[in-house]
Structure 1
């Protein structure tokens, strides 16, 4: 019984909680590409020309059951079970979370817009609403000769890991007088690593050591359970060997806006010869900044997962559990399955962020941030972030920043941290000072990373042409303002300057205003030298197009089947579709043999002739004829029979005119069943021949 009771409770003790990643660092105007994590609008009007993140890791762990003193962790005789202080209650919680920002970069598309491409991996494993006294029983063990009661009531759970590849676009939306608004959006392609979740409703287990008397066996314990138990997990968590699923993906998005009040904007005003005055990007220009964003809306579907709901209101004798190797088998046989489905969906931890930043001076700021989860605690198929409020004072400059966030975090209370950025290095924690200064702590986080920052430079004018280098397309060559600081070019090299050239990208004689003489069909041959002046064609064919007799998009000179419509991918020959492949196997599975032999029955000749007709439509395709049997008989006999039957089909097709070089036969015996061999209907499906395209 013990081996099943423990996973029943622990499987349900998962729930998605998440504290903000990179706490404090995201308030920095020099956080660069990291800014899009909290608000995608942050990358517009950035202090960077480009910012390249090499690697960054943020990790969090916490619980409200155990707490320890920091200095005790370094004592030689420290024992967690003995030295940790325990605070059991009816609703204990725990969390472990890792957020990795991989290679990512941002850059400016133009003065008003920026773009970023980022990679990110995230994993959450959490517990929520666990009865701490029950957890003690599970950890310390229990005596199966003594009665006990476990009452969990309602609890929920979720564990999920996934990766993101995303692109962020942000631009300036409005700027007039002292008011400035920018917006941004991130679109994310998601790759799921795996998900498991569970919930219990009115869950309890009452063990009576001598509850049932079985004739001839004596007295055994009874287990009376109540409530409903739901669990779900992705396909790769069904076996002991975990592997990342292929083709399991989804999409997500973030959206955000930022408003800035800039009463002293004129101090940063510069001249743009084409677009008029503009504000320098190398400096912060606001007195007050406010941001609002919605992050992580989207989902990942695991199509081959499992979700089941059980009614576990029953009394079972203890020995009944010993007949099962897995919890799922016990649940299926001993309790009532209310519902099931073959797919699970993981919702992202959608959250609303509100942020206000006040500038005292050019270097000292105070930030107020609120994170509010938009996911219900009772929704087990979605991760949920922790609500929190943070007040962060900071010192900020181009090469160095220091910040010290003071936070109130849902379920973990007061947290005080510190962090810094020094050129390419950033490191910090949202709880380090709480850990070091408090009598005991029950949660901690840390983050660190490296990046390559390329800052916006201060304005210079190296060539002295009156145009700032930031806007000068030729900062080292003197040029007129009307040509953005560059000397007038002759792009096509025809000795006619672009400003006087009617065709600046194409060389032409001066008498035709720099344009070439006409080439009506645009094939590179002037009309006077073109045999087909109205139709574009290669020079090798005197300007005429190569023919395509079957009009399949593959020229006859490259078409292996010039008289038959085909595909480009198949060199102009027809390509076998999934529908035709299915039809082949539908025919093949109806081929009948004399019992226990490889002799094809006469009734199957019509089917085989239909197969010959299909193969004839694809003269360049090669096929594998594969024989399969059920599991009745010996392995060796079934293997030999499957090989002989596949060879018999091959011989028939060759005799009917199919080129033998296009065919091969294989036997798989009983190794690849498509149905259970326990029943007659399943064995019939397993006795089959398949004809598959060799790619």
Structure 2
């Protein structure tokens, strides 16, 4: 049970806040957070350096349940998790990032570098269409409502890691009309938590129940289950202190290398191009276009001792008996023993498994509307599918976003509108005041009673040079 609890705890903690800082994508004031959308963006800030001391970002979505009655503006004595009834495909996705000491420094007129650390996590659960009602109390009722069951499946994957990153950006070419700049970010990653599972090829056939108190029953004649988790969960022990358990959990994990690549073109106003001896301030452009390939890499984990592949079903395995077999499980070993007792074949998984990072092509366009108003449009195309049976992949949760904003160096109002990978639209809001940026992905968390868990939020604390009125950082010469 400790293994299961630790796995759920890691997932819940890291998904309380999520990737991404959607509000400031394309902004000249993103500074050390610009690599969130393009590593070339660190050249755009109107100050010499900045430091994001801490940032937490989170995004969650699910159509399987909602929290009622709950919103951030009203408190209720009791809240409930309410499952959604019906016959439909179910899903739950979360993505999270904790930013630690992200630093950006402009070396000279044409180059800049960045340093920092992040803790990140992506988690996906999805199923085939399944008929479920909260009035179902027994497995045989579920089997009866989902005949034939051979098309049913459920799958999940979860990956969490620590990354230390170093970025560099440089002007590639420039004219009086604008400039091209490129950036690269190298990431040294350490795996923290990994898990995956898939249940498919389930077959329940109607049979007379051996239990005289069960009105009807089904025999389990086929099933295929593959599940695994990282072995650091096996190293924790109730007899050890919390500090020792943390050390045991973190040691011996795999290291890997990741990469982000990006280019950006900044187009100046025609009047600036014709009459200015130098390019305008970083925030005074006509439009910007950027493209980036983000999160190239994967994380590798060693299988925990209870990871397994089970297939088939032993004779005499009835839906009515499964209820008792899976009740009151206290640890992962008891789960394995239960599966062994009903599976025709059971093989322990050994060696390593890898989960790909959410590699994606991100296209971003930013237009200056003047008087501190801007609008940003963004498209994210994931390279891999999370439904690929032959690979374990993760995926970014936003596919398209449009963000109008009004911003200055110390103040900003942002209204991001996002379209998610599950074809839902969210309207968010973010506010910047001095070093603090706070935002919500979905205003339903404020205004609705059934919007949670669909949404999320972010907050960052970013400091910049001094309190004096600062001149703009030098811009590239022609």
**Coarse TM-score class (shorter-chain normalised):** 0.7 to 0.9
State the SS of the aligned residue for 2:45: coil
In structure 2, distance between residues paired with 1:148 and 1:331: 22
How far the C-alpha of 1:389 sits from its partner, in A, is: 1.2
Mean alpha-carbon deviation: is it higher for 327-336 or for 406-415?
Answer: 327-336
In structure 1, distance between residues paired with 2:138 and 2:230: 32
The correspondence of residues 556-635 of structure 1 with structure 2, limited to 5 A, is none
In structure 1, distance between residues paired with 2:196 and 2:133: 18
Alignment correspondent of 1:227 = 223
Mean alpha-carbon deviation: is it higher for 408-417 or for 318-327?
Answer: 318-327
Confirm or deny that 1:111 pairs with 2:120: no
Alignment correspondent of 2:445 = 435
Is the contact made by 1:189 and 1:249 (CA closer than 8 Å) also made in structure 2?
yes
How far the C-alpha of 1:193 sits from its partner, in A, is: 1.1
Alignment correspondent of 1:638 = none
Alignment correspondent of 1:261 = 267
In structure 2, distance between residues paired with 1:199 and 1:143: 19
How far the C-alpha of 1:336 sits from its partner, in A, is: 1.8
Structure 1 residues not aligned, in runs of 5+: 11-16, 214-219, 271-277, 460-468, 472-695
Is the contact made by 2:49 and 2:103 (CA closer than 8 Å) also made in structure 1?
yes
CA 1:19 to 1:351, structure 2 compared with 1: closer, same or farther past 3 Å?
farther
How far the C-alpha of 1:374 sits from its partner, in A, is: 1.4
In structure 1, distance between residues paired with 2:434 and 2:72: 35
CA 1:85 to 1:322, structure 2 compared with 1: closer, same or farther past 3 Å?
closer
State the SS of the aligned residue for 1:328: helix
How far the C-alpha of 1:85 sits from its partner, in A, is: 7.2
Is the contact made by 1:258 and 1:292 (CA closer than 8 Å) also made in structure 2?
yes
CA 1:309 to 1:397, structure 2 compared with 1: closer, same or farther past 3 Å?
same
In structure 2, distance between residues paired with 1:73 and 1:64: 23
How far the C-alpha of 1:454 sits from its partner, in A, is: 2.9
State the SS of the aligned residue for 1:98: strand
In structure 1, distance between residues paired with 2:69 and 2:142: 36
The correspondence of residues 71-220 of structure 1 with structure 2, limited to 5 A, is 74=74, 76=76, 78-81=78-81, 84=82, 86-129=84-127, 131=129, 133-134=131-132, 136=134, 141-142=137-138, 148=144, 151=149, 153-205=152-204, 210-211=209-210
Number of aligned residue pairs: give it: 432
Alignment correspondent of 1:236 = 232
CA 1:364 to 1:130, structure 2 compared with 1: closer, same or farther past 3 Å?
same
CA 1:268 to 1:238, structure 2 compared with 1: closer, same or farther past 3 Å?
farther
In structure 1, distance between residues paired with 2:139 and 2:180: 66
Is the contact made by 1:359 and 1:366 (CA closer than 8 Å) also made in structure 2?
yes
Is the contact made by 1:146 and 1:209 (CA closer than 8 Å) also made in structure 2?
no
How far the C-alpha of 1:359 sits from its partner, in A, is: 0.9
In structure 2, distance between residues paired with 1:80 and 1:45: 46
How far the C-alpha of 1:96 sits from its partner, in A, is: 3.3
Is the contact made by 1:393 and 1:403 (CA closer than 8 Å) also made in structure 2?
yes
Confirm or deny that 1:250 pairs with 2:263: no
In structure 1, distance between residues paired with 2:20 and 2:72: 27
Larger RCO (CA within 8 A; separation ≥ 6): 2
Alignment correspondent of 1:424 = 435
Deviation digits for residues 384-408 of structure 1, max 9, x if unmatched?
2224211111112122121101122
In structure 1, distance between residues paired with 2:350 and 2:455: 38
The correspondence of residues 647-666 of structure 1 with structure 2, limited to 5 A, is none
CA 1:255 to 1:123, structure 2 compared with 1: closer, same or farther past 3 Å?
same
Structure 2 residues not aligned, in runs of 5+: 9-14, 238-244
How far the C-alpha of 1:111 sits from its partner, in A, is: 1.3
In structure 1, distance between residues paired with 2:408 and 2:428: 20
The correspondence of residues 271-290 of structure 1 with structure 2, limited to 5 A, is 278-279=278-279, 282-290=281-289
Is the contact made by 1:404 and 1:418 (CA closer than 8 Å) also made in structure 2?
yes
Q: 1:349 aligns with which of 343, 346, 358?
A: 358
Mean alpha-carbon deviation: is it higher for 30-39 or for 359-368?
Answer: 359-368
In structure 1, distance between residues paired with 2:142 and 2:76: 37
How far the C-alpha of 1:190 sits from its partner, in A, is: 0.8
Larger Rg: 1
Normalising by the residue count of structure 1, what TM-score does the alignment of the two structures yield? 0.56
Deviation digits for residues 41-95 of structure 1, max 9, x if unmatched?
10124322101011011122321123446459946454415xx473533311123
Is the contact made by 1:158 and 1:196 (CA closer than 8 Å) also made in structure 2?
yes
How far the C-alpha of 1:352 sits from its partner, in A, is: 1.4
How far the C-alpha of 1:342 sits from its partner, in A, is: 1.6
In structure 2, distance between residues paired with 1:85 and 1:345: 32
How far the C-alpha of 1:453 sits from its partner, in A, is: 1.7
In structure 2, distance between residues paired with 1:43 and 1:146: 54
